[in-house]
A and B are shown apart, each in its own frame.
Chain A
Amino acid sequence: MLLYTLRRILYAVPIALAVSLVCFMLVHIAPGDPIDAILPPDASAETVALVRKDYGLDKPLPVQFGLWLAHVVQGDFGRSIANRRLVADELVSAASKTFILATTAASLGFVIGCILGGLAGAFRGTLIDRAAVSFAVGGVSVPHYWLGMVLVIIFSVTLGWLPSMSAGPGDWAWDWLHIRHLILPAITLSVIPAGLVTRTVRGVVVEILSQDFMTTLRGKGLRRLMLTVHVMKNAAPTALAVMGLQLGYLMGGSILVETVFAWPGTGMMLNQAIFQRDIPVLQGTTLVLAMIFVALNLLVDLIQTALDPRMRRT
């Protein structure tokens, strides 16, 4: 198991390198000069050259990549072009906010999905099943920025129960003052994973229930609760795999929702960086998000292997 873990981590290194190269290149391949975003359009050629040199934008691309990578490895993502602050500091603050939102939404989605999917699978063909499947289809299909806006209209504008903007004053804390800011974006974000998990768990449960060993277990006189434990342990690897991937998407893919709710996370940071052509911020954020995705994939693989004895190797 240890050997397997080490090997899997080793496999992740080339992927991480490739990802960082793509991150680095994407910004340079995109049309438009980042200098235009910093300096006024009438800046003199001298000023442009000076700033360009200052940011290292005058060097050949491979050298830029090498320098950038060397800094990145030490946790130095440079300074933002737009506000001159350290990208690393900004990232830590934003990523932790996004992490709070994403894990809350993912857990919510996972719990809802497991319950609905489990019920749907156990009572296949009944009204419960049809209701759960409809929810799953709806959850996957509805555009979540639209759902976010609808929730804002209902709960913030009309009823005035919950705030519609920001993550609350100052640093994050798990108190009602802050949590009330979390509720609406988390619900909005949880809909897609909830739908996907429902669908997956339903399929897995239906399959498990049709297996021969379920007859064996019933034949041993096991009660419903014990049968459920068997079904859960068999379903867990698949359900967790889907959830892990969803968490990855949520970490990076909440740009729209974070923007709708003005949640100060990586999504909003990315959104601003794109409009301001803030290359260091773009690169740093994309890279960190991609690394989180790679790490989550790795984690999912390892957890799956630990849970399913058939996948275990030396």
Chain B
Amino acid sequence: MLHIDQPEDRGGPAQPLVIARGLAKYFPLKRGLFGSGGAVKAVDGLDLEIKKGETLAIVGESGCGKSTVSRLLMGLIPPTAGEVLFDGELVGSAALPAKEYLRQVQMVFQDSYASLNPRLSIEESIAFPPMVHGLGRTEAVERAHDLLDAVGLAPGLFAGRYPHELSGGQRQRINIARALALRPRLIILDEPVSALDKSVEAQVLNLLMDLKEQFGLTYLFISHDLNVVHHVADRVLVMYLGRAAEIGPVESIFAAPGHPYTRGLLASRLSMDPTKRRKTPPLTGDPPNPVNPPPGCRFNTRCPIAEPVCSNSQPNLAAIGHTIHALGHEAACWALVPGSGHSLATRKVA
């Protein structure tokens, strides 16, 4: 009999679960038969590591490429460039065929309704993926019931229902249960609580934290809500127009953001203290269209500390942390690069 269990840990705890190198995705713009209109550089050269058992959050505004990253990692769209290693093995190689990889990575989307088949009962929806992968019907249904239990929905009450009979929060629980059905190691959560009411959001966040322990999961958590990210994440990747602006441990980033964009985003959070209201917004303007990103540092058009060097060339991620808590804290900003020519950067020590 076939069992679908969580695959063994091959690389050991020190081996990152996911390594992505030079990941890029360009969407060509169609302009009729004559002449092509360039491309939207949704993701443009991204390096990324997700450690085993951690929650890595990607934050950023519309057009930053965070959802494209999740779709690239899920294999839903082919990358323009770059490669992905999963537990040390190249995805798509003989050691890790794409199908085996995709079983170990599952995804939960923002729209809980659109991601469920309206004609399948809850039980069938959850049992379907394991059955496709060869698990017998009885075992699959049994697993579905266990998972319903795990996400806090009584199987006796919910197994036979259909998606439209459930509330948004309940449907999102179903989506989570279904993602767990193949016993994956990585779950990509793409704005999983953005469409939910606050009281339901809290329930789902609690559930996600519980399941992570219980099933030994690693999360890639994509969100625009910095409060939620601060609550759930271990490390944070801040993206802007398809590039990484900053990455690092959540405490370090929230306490001492290095990139002016991260500072602006953090300052844009709504204060919960009406006695301390500000007068001026931290950032001005909208995020630009990724079709024509500005030259140099992509943030230079909205950056409060931009200087000529910023529109000349593109900065890369470089370590900025000097304390033990800030280990792995990197930002891509010329003001932080010694000798870059930015007036805020220290002079290069000769």
- Interface on A for B, CB 8 Å cutoff? 7, 11, 313
Contact = CB atoms under 8 A, between A and B. Distances in A.
A11 B33 CA distance: 9
Contacts of A11: 33
A92 B32 CA distance: 36
A6 to B, nearest CB: 11
Contacts of B33: 11
Interface string B303-339: 0000000000000000000000000000000000000
Interface string B24-36: 0000000111100
A307 to B, nearest CB: 20
Contacts of A313: 31
B51 to A, nearest CB: 45
B188 to A, nearest CB: 32
4 contacts: A7-B32, A7-B34, A11-B33, A313-B31
A117 to B, nearest CB: 31
A313 B31 CA distance: 9
A264 B11 CA distance: 86
User: Main SS of chain A's interface residues?
Assistant: helix
Nearest to B32: A7
A11 B31 CA distance: 14
A11 B32 CA distance: 10
A103 B33 CA distance: 34
B38 to A, nearest CB: 14
Interface in B27-70: 31-34
Nearest to A7: B32
Nearest to A4: B32
B22 to A, nearest CB: 34
A7 B31 CA distance: 11
A71 B348 CA distance: 80
A36 B134 CA distance: 70
Interface string B1-39: 000000000000000000000000000000111100000
B275 to A, nearest CB: 34
Q: State the 4 A-B residue pairs at the shortest beta-carbon distance, nearest first.
A: A7-B32, A7-B34, A11-B33, A313-B31
A29 to B, nearest CB: 31
Contacts of A7: 32, 34
Interface in B231-265: none
A41 B34 CA distance: 56
A64 to B, nearest CB: 31
B1 to A, nearest CB: 53
Nearest to A314: B31
A11 B34 CA distance: 11
Interface in B127-154: none
A154 to B, nearest CB: 52
Interface string B110-121: 000000000000
B34 to A, nearest CB: 7
Contacts of B31: 313
B271 to A, nearest CB: 30
Nearest to B31: A313
Contacts of B34: 7
Contacts of B32: 7
Nearest to B34: A7
A313 B35 CA distance: 14
A267 B34 CA distance: 39
A7 B34 CA distance: 9
A16 B230 CA distance: 63
B13 to A, nearest CB: 52
A235 to B, nearest CB: 27
B288 to A, nearest CB: 20
B253 to A, nearest CB: 38
A7 B33 CA distance: 9
A170 B32 CA distance: 49
A7 B35 CA distance: 12
A313 B33 CA distance: 14
B222 to A, nearest CB: 28
A296 B33 CA distance: 22
B36 to A, nearest CB: 14
A69 B33 CA distance: 27
A183 B235 CA distance: 78
A119 B208 CA distance: 52
A9 B31 CA distance: 16
A288 to B, nearest CB: 27
B346 to A, nearest CB: 47
A254 to B, nearest CB: 35
A206 B33 CA distance: 36
A211 B276 CA distance: 39
Nearest to A8: B32
Nearest to B33: A11
B30 to A, nearest CB: 11
Interface string B172-192: 000000000000000000000
A96 B32 CA distance: 36
A199 B21 CA distance: 55
Interface in B59-108: none
A139 B301 CA distance: 60
A156 B31 CA distance: 56
A313 B32 CA distance: 11
A15 to B, nearest CB: 13
A148 to B, nearest CB: 43
Nearest to A313: B31
A288 B32 CA distance: 28
A301 to B, nearest CB: 13
